[in-house]
Amino acid sequence: MFFIGIDLGASFIKGGVLDLEKLAVRHIHREPFPGFLPGLPPTWREIDPYIIISSVRSMLDRLMVYAPDGAGLVFCGQMHGLILTDIHGKPLSNFISWQDKRALRPHPRGGRTFFAALTERISETEKRRMGKELRPGLPLCTLFCLAEEQALPHGDVFPVALADFVAAHLCCATPRSDLTNAAAHGALNLESLDWHDTQLAELGLLGLHWPELTRLNEPIGQFTVGNKPVTCYPSVGDQQCALIGSLLNLKELSLNIATGSQVSLLSPHLEWGEYQSRPFFDGMWLKTITHIPAGRSLNAIIRLLSELPQVHHLPLPDPWPYIEQSVTAVSATDLRANLAFFASACGERGELANLNEENLTVGHIFRAAFQNMADTYLSCARRLSPEQDWWQLAFSGGLARKSTVLRDIILAGFQTPYRFAPMEEETLLGLLALALAITGQSPSVMAAVDQLRLLSQQGHAWL
């Protein structure tokens, strides 16, 4: 039996054939995610939904060649963006990305921003019930802006996550949502596991048709690719999918380090703290801190150090081997770094401090940057579990694999055993686990994770 797995990421659309008999991910393809539309106001980030659909169809055409009798289709996708659709999944708006910041514009009444006007209407108790996710770019904030400006389309309008839109559009079906994507809207009551009608009414958003919440094994619908039938199942959030693909277990601390980074712990119960609370699978919960500075901030330093040769069109090799070598040669530094160069969980004003002639080198700068990252991960982990109730680190993400010296600095702070996710494409392996649960080959998602973890320990080849 074959499934097709597709990950609609912010940088790439990735897909692969999921072989449920041999438990492998094959024929992996990737292509850049479509770019933002030009000519919009400076803080708006929108993408033509039909270009996204075209990219997905193109990938399906390539992958379905390897599924001779048809297949099931499972999605995960970037969270916290939305598309407005009609009852049949037809788009009524562009895809509005999670990177959109229109909520920071001045509100026409009162001079404060739309975001400030929204937060005034939500108590601290309700923010907690909604997962402590509230920030500009959240669908709830975007919808509030549109409602306040009377810019919502007329008629039956569904606010839909990206991957949920793609599934509904392909099947000409009414949009539905799994809890992992629904919670990413910022409008779900985590205690009742339903849309927060009281709060939505307060914000003027109850008139929207919020998607029906569905189970993973309930098909969205069917469509055909080259005369082959495809049964499409509900999509899930890409963070949760990547974590099951990293085969995360209770009492393992996940450190995902890539362009951005996240620190996460699983919990059997809904808990509250100085972190985000998100639904997971099989009734479990995720305690997480996201948007922690990582590769994006390091790349900003690399761009600064590379500016002079690049302006003279001098070719530069991959800088990372030299960075690794230079940091290894510097055992300690008095230079201090704060990588919050962008809006993040650590603020939005970074710095390089205590500079002098001796420490103004690549080795010192990047050792300070790596130390800042390691200190931040440990601080975030203690917020998730003040008792430090974890026994092992689970590294995932490209930067965690690439930099040995960064890992060593992190491990020096944690003093904890570690392991890597079993394959680099964590989301595709996560989609394989979902497909096993959907088809009943495993009794639950976490049972599928246990099955795959045992194979990983036995040296199973995933590709």
pLDDT at 166: 97
Torsion angle, alpha carbons of 220, 223, 228, 230, to 10: -10
Please list, in sequence order, all residues whose beta carbon lies within 8 angstroms of the beta carbon of residue 349, skipping any fewer than 6 positions away: 338, 340
Output phi, psi for 424, to 5 deg: -65, -35
Tokens coding 36: 């933002």
Superfamily name with CATH number, domain 2-238 = ATPase, nucleotide binding domain (3.30.420.40)
42: left (phi over 0), alpha (psi -120 to 50) or beta: alpha
Name the amino acid, one letter, at 406: L
- Give the separation between CA 171 and CA 83, rounded to whole angstroms: 16
- Give the separation between CA 426 and CA 14, rounded to whole angstroms: 11
* Domain spanning 248-420, CATH architecture: 2-Layer Sandwich (3.30)
Q: How far is CA 198 from the centre of its chain?
A: 28
CB-facing half-sphere around the CA of 200: CA atoms within 13 A: 19
pLDDT at 109: 85
108: left (phi over 0), alpha (psi -120 to 50) or beta: alpha
Output phi, psi for 126, to 5 deg: -70, -35
- The C-alpha angle with vertex 233 and arms to 141 and 286, in degrees rounded to 5, equals 50
- The conformation of residue 354, written as its DSSP 8-state character, comes to S
Asked if 68 and 17 touch (Cβ cutoff 8 Å), the reply is: no
Residues of the chain with CATH 3.30.420.40: 2-238, 248-420
pLDDT at 279: 97
Global pTM reads: 0.94
Q: Where are the beta strands (DSSP E) in 9-138?
A: 12-19, 24-32, 46-47, 71-77, 83-85, 95-96
User: pLDDT of the chain along its 463 residues, tens only?
Assistant: 899 999 999 999 999 999 999 999 999 999 999 999 999 999 999 999 999 999 999 999 999 999 888 889 999 999 999 999 999 999 999 999 999 999 999 998 878 999 999 999 999 999 999 999 899 999 999 999 999 999 999 999 999 999 999 999 999 999 999 999 999 999 999 999 999 999 999 999 999 999 999 999 999 999 999 889 999 999 999 999 999 999 999 999 999 999 889 999 999 999 999 999 999 999 999 999 999 999 999 999 999 999 999 899 988 899 999 999 999 999 999 999 999 998 888 888 999 999 999 999 999 999 999 999 999 999 999 999 999 999 999 999 999 999 999 999 999 999 999 999 999 999 999 999 999 999 999 999 999 999 999 999 999 988 8
pLDDT at 70: 82
